[in-house]
Amino acid sequence: MLDARNHQGKFGEDYVRALASAAGLLVYQHDLDQDGVDLGFRLPGRSTGVASPCIEAQIKSWSRGEIKHGVSEWYFNGLNEAQFNRIAGDDFTVPRFLFLVRVPPDNVDYVEFTTEGMLLRHLAYYCSLRLESPIEHPDKKRKRPVRIPVANVLTTRSLLNLVRSVELIARSTA
């Protein structure tokens, strides 16, 4: 059995894989995680003139997040500066995102089965750090907090829209 940290991280990645599968996207993974990318997502074919648009994501799982009344953002402090730099900035060929999967503290609550089907808990969120500047001298021992809008729920539709936004960017720069 996996230790709690790896179990939580694997569930987070598998949660996102399930969304991508439901959205009809291809999921890819590099053979080594040397570049800050956990998973990539590709829309096969030419849907609006751009061939096989894709995005990449660093996926983090989190069991401690709480929303305070009136607050519209998650305050995530789980990236060190080196991890932040691997997804921050606008100079990536393939757009990069942070996907944050909120999970229950106890792994027995990750899924629930009913007569209607299976429920995965809790929700995933996304944010782009494209407009953030990378840290000049990153330190793996220092944390870099990130604010993630609560409205940015990762769903099959929002994941497809993120991938399709690559098509819009490509057409606007052509």
Q: Name the residue ranges covered by the structural domains of the chain.
A: 4-173
Per-residue pLDDT of the chain in tens (174 residues, 90 and over written 9): 899 999 999 999 999 999 999 999 999 998 887 889 999 999 998 866 788 999 999 999 999 866 666 679 999 999 999 999 999 999 999 999 999 999 999 999 999 999 999 999 999 999 999 999 999 999 999 999 999 999 999 999 999 999 998 866 655 655
pTM for the structure as a whole = 0.92
Determine the 3-state secondary structure of 145 from DSSP.
Answer: coil
**Max CA separation in the chain (angstroms):** 53
| Spatial contact of 149 and 73, defined as CB atoms under 8 Å apart | yes
